[in-house]
């Protein structure tokens, strides 16, 4: 492609990305992006009608995870022996996505290393379709089918030549590469064991028919991680719709901790458009690092939970594990083949290991008189047998109303062990006059005269990772100072008994 074209494309894409982020910040309508790719289509629409080889298959070695030293050439069985292909082992085909640089990104080596770390005798084959992938996005997207078909022929040939069971083949595709894997699986004569889609690309695939994108039909088991699905339908860098048997949306599939789009905006102000790529890449590529994490940190596997919506998940309402409602994120996921398009959610840390511990807190706020809805700031500290996690914000998803049980999701980065005690703090935020706040504070929790007081007697907790359910009661119902934290300790579930009779345990 001519240099000026590449430059125009680069400008358009970056420009669109900036608009995209700006809109996130301003919460403007999404409509301005709808035309994002159209000018590109007009500028560059052309078909590639040669049928030259579009993919190369490099069998990497554990000793040289970053070097392409040996290519397996379909039709040449001797290349299998030359590359010491082990036909009784698992075979991974790693498929990259769109690229501006025309080179493998640095995650490729990390992923190859992680795969060999977990499966020492495996064949880790890097599929190189860089020549097509470094075109502009629309053209590269059009190429995914042809590349997938070529991989399918490679798989057919491997099966015929080595008699290896296709159950042993696992395709791992990132971004556009996820759809390439889908086409490969779909066009292979027999079904491959598994396809993992790492933030499959959205533009040109969202809403498409199952045969024109990655779908559960493409392998016996298709699992997908969605990490950057912000934007209007049809224009999100990562595809929003579920496209596998199990689709996991870490952090709701949008902003990933540690990626900092807001920071990127500030950088743009200082350093121009090029700063944006880092943030976008960080969110999109997080899918790869979550998968690498699952390979390297088997003992610290993250859990994801099936949920009807991200909003319900954020209220802590989906931490159950019965009937395969929860699963392991990444490599060790359980293959629940009966289901398809199961949407699961998880929260993560900002860096490896990404796993966090999820808790549901159910808190009943009671009062003798109806109070107007409130938006306090709620803070919780957890004390466990192994560690403590202090001053965690309980995120309100709705206003607090009288005599209602509210459910919250709380996460800790470290394993606190078994939960023994918790402290709870209510602070009024804006919207209250000083006098009403003082009244509120002085009456809050006091068991006496002021009829306006709001009370919390117990907090019910479910721990996602251990599936334990616990009830915590106010430790000292008589000595309340509402300007301070209130301590809760484990109690038997005596919902109907007078709370004053609850034993005051020392922790
Ligand atoms: C493309 O492949 C087909 C069938 O494999 C062949 O008949 C045709 O000549 C090829 N075209 C080119 C341009 O190589
Ligand atoms: C091939 O892989 C199998 C296990 O999958 C292993 O037992 C065997 O030692 C490997 N062969 C070679 C030559 O590495
Ligand atoms: C809330 O529930 C308590 C106990 O059931 C009851 O005494 C109180 O009147 C209720 N408050 C309102 C405002 O309905």
Cβ atoms of 472 and 422 within 8 Å: the answer is yes
121 Cα nearest atom in ligand 2: 2
Alpha-carbon distance of 462 to 222, in angstroms, equals 30
Q: Are strands 454-455 and 342-346 parallel, antiparallel or unpaired?
A: unpaired
Per-residue pLDDT, 506 = 38
Question: CA distances (Å), 114 to each of 286, 318, 339, in order?
Answer: 15, 31, 29
Instruction: For 252-376, list the strands marked E by DSSP.
Output: 303-306, 326-328, 342-346, 357-367
Q: Is the CB of 484 under 6 A from ligand 1?
A: no
Q: Which residues are catalytic?
A: 175, 199, 284
CA 51 – ligand 1 centroid, Å: 6
Alpha-carbon distance of 374 to 93, in angstroms, equals 54
Q: Which ligand is nearest to the Cα of residue 62, counting in written order?
A: 2
What's the maximum distance between 2 C-alpha atoms anywhere in the chain? 90
In terms of phi and psi (left: phi > 0; alpha: psi -120 to 50; beta: otherwise), the region of 146 is alpha
CA 121 – ligand 2 centroid, Å: 6
Per-residue pLDDT, 32 = 36
For the chain, report the end-to-end CA distance as a whole number of angstroms: 70
Nearest to 446 by CA among 482, 417, 413, 421: 482
- Structure tokens belonging to residue 275: 């700063």
Q: Is the CB of 369 under 6 A from ligand 3?
A: yes
Per-residue pLDDT, 135 = 82
Judged by DSSP in three states, 481 sits in: coil
49 Cα nearest atom in ligand 1: 13
Distance of alpha carbon 501 from its chain centroid, rounded? 45
CA 100 – ligand 3 centroid, Å: 63
Cβ atoms of 235 and 207 within 8 Å: the answer is no
Q: DSSP string spanning 281-293?
A: HHHHHHHHHHHHH
Q: Is the CB of 120 under 6 A from ligand 1?
A: no
In terms of phi and psi (left: phi > 0; alpha: psi -120 to 50; beta: otherwise), the region of 417 is left
Q: Is the CB of 401 under 6 A from ligand 3?
A: no
Per-residue pLDDT, 493 = 54
Alpha-carbon distance of 241 to 293, in angstroms, equals 24
Question: CA distances (Å), 205 to each of 15, 176, 179, 202, 439, in order?
Answer: 21, 9, 8, 5, 57
Per-residue pLDDT, 449 = 34
Q: What is the CA radius of gyration of the chain?
A: 27
DSSP 8-state secondary structure symbol assigned to residue 61? B
Alpha-carbon distance of 362 to 191, in angstroms, equals 45
Pocket residue to mutate for ligand 1, from 51, 53, 75, 150, most atoms within 8 A of Cβ: 51
Nearest to 291 by CA among 175, 155, 140: 175
Alpha-carbon distance of 343 to 324, in angstroms, equals 12
- To which residue do tokens 């390979």 refer? 295
Q: Which ligand is nearest to the Cα of residue 146, counting in written order?
A: 1
Instruction: Assign 3-state DSSP to the chain and report helix, strand, coil percentages, each to 5.
Output: 30, 25, 45
Strand partners, 328: 303
Residue with CA at minimum distance from ligand 1 atom 9: 51
Judged by DSSP in three states, 504 sits in: coil
pTM: 0.83
Alpha-carbon distance of 136 to 132, in angstroms, equals 9
Question: Over the chain (507 residues), what is each successive 10-residue block's mean pLDDT?
Answer: 43 46 39 42 47 85 96 96 96 93 92 98 97 88 95 97 96 97 98 98 93 96 94 74 97 89 61 62 94 96 96 96 94 86 95 96 85 85 96 90 92 95 82 49 44 75 96 79 76 53 39
- Structure tokens belonging to residue 361: 């807190």
Q: How many helices (H) and strands (E) does the chain have?
A: 11, 20
- To which residue do tokens 């004569």 refer? 189
Residue with CA at minimum distance from ligand 2 atom 4: 89
């Amino acid at each position: 492609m001519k240099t000026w074209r590449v430059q125009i494309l680069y400008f358009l894409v970056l420009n669109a990305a900036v608009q995209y982020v700006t809109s996130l910040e301003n919460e403007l309508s999404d409509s301005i992006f709808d035309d994002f790719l159209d000018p590109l289509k007009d500028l560059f629409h052309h078909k590639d009608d040669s049928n030259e080889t579009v993919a190369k298959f490099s069998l990497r070695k554990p000793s040289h995870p970053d070097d392409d030293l040996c290519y397996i050439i379909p039709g040449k069985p001797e290349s299998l022996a030359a590359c010491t292909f082990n036909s009784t082992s698992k075979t991974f085909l790693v498929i990259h996505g769109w690229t501006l640089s025309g080179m493998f990104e640095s995650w490729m080596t990390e992923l190859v290393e992680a795969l060999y770390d977990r499966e020492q005798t495996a064949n880790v084959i890097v599929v190189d379709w860089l020549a097509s992938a470094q075109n502009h996005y629309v053209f590269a997207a059009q190429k995914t089918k042809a590349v997938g078909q070529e991989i399918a022929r490679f798989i057919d040939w491997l099966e015929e030549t080595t008699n290896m069971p296709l159950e042993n083949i696992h395709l791992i595709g990132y971004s556009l590469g996820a759809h390439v894997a889908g086409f490969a699986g779909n066009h292979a004569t027999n079904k491959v064991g598994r396809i993992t889609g790492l933030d499959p690309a959205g533009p040109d695939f969202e809403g498409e028919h199952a045969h024109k994108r990655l779908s559960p039909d493409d392998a016996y088991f298709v699992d997908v991680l969605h990490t950057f699905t912000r934007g209007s339908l049809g224009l999100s860098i990562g595809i929003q719709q579920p496209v596998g048997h199990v689709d996991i949306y870490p952090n709701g599939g949008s902003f990933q901790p540690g990626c900092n789009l807001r920071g990127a905006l500030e950088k743009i102000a200082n350093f121009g458009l090029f700063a944006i790529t880092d943030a976008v890449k960080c969110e999109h590529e997080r899918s790869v690092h979550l998968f690498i994490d699952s390979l390297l940190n088997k003992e610290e596997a993250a859990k994801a939970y099936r949920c009807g919506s991200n909003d319900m998940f954020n209220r802590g309402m989906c931490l159950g594990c019965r009937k395969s409602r929860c699963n392991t994120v990444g490599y060790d996921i359980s293959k629940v083949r009966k289901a398809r398009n199961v949407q699961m959610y998880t929260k993560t840390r900002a860096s490896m290991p990404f796993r966090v511990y999820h808790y549901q807190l159910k808190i009943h706020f009671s009062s003798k008189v109806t109070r107007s809805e409130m938006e306090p700031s709620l803070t919780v500290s957890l004390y466990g047998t192994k560690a403590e996690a202090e001053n965690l914000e309980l995120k309100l998803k709705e206003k607090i109303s009288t005599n209602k049980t509210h459910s919250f999701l709380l996460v800790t980065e470290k394993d606190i062990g078994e939960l023994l005690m918790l402290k709870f703090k209510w602070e009024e935020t804006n919207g209250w006059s000083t006098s009403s706040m003082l009244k509120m504070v002085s009456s809050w929790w006091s068991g006496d005269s002021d009829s306006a007081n709001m009370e919390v007697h117990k907090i019910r907790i479910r721990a996602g990772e251990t599936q334990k359910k616990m009830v915590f009661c106010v430790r000292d119902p008589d000595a309340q100072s509402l300007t301070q934290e209130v301590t809760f300790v484990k109690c038997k579930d005596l919902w109907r008994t007078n709370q004053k009779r609850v034993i005051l345990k020392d922790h």
